[in-house]
Structure 1
Amino acid sequence: MRLGFLRDCPNGKLDKKQFTAVYKQFYPTGKADNFCKYAFDTFDANGDGSIDFDEFLLAISATSHGDID
């Protein structure tokens, strides 16, 4: 997963737009747009406007136990 993250984000960080695009890959049947805004703001732990790999793993792990709809 880390290699895919670094392939998509060579600088090691996702902005909100990138996060939404990547997150949708994990939940292709869900309507993730509204949820992604909330998730991004929640998991951007240091408030720098980007999510690093560790923050991304927390977001995926915390939301992987159910349907987002």
Structure 2
Amino acid sequence: MQTTPLITRQEAAEILRQSVRKIDMLIVSGDLPAVRIGRSVRIRKTSIDLFVESRESRTHFKIHRTKRKEAGK
């Protein structure tokens, strides 16, 4: 059996550019599977990849951008 590398919640947060709290929320909601080993929580690297793939948009969507304030105003 080939094992997938396990990463910490902090490493997952860095990969996804989210906070550890957000990672915890994703785990609790079941959106991001995790493994408990003793008191530690680990996430399979492949789970991160699958999570991102599941969030990819298959359609075009508009990204809202805020206007910059002009200098001196």
Larger radius of gyration: 2
- TM-score scaled by structure 1? 0.48
Could you say which structure has the higher strand fraction? 2
Which of the pair has the greater relative contact order for Cα pairs under 8 Å at 6+ separation?
Answer: 1
TM-score, normalised to structure 2's length? Answer: 0.46
Higher helix share: 1
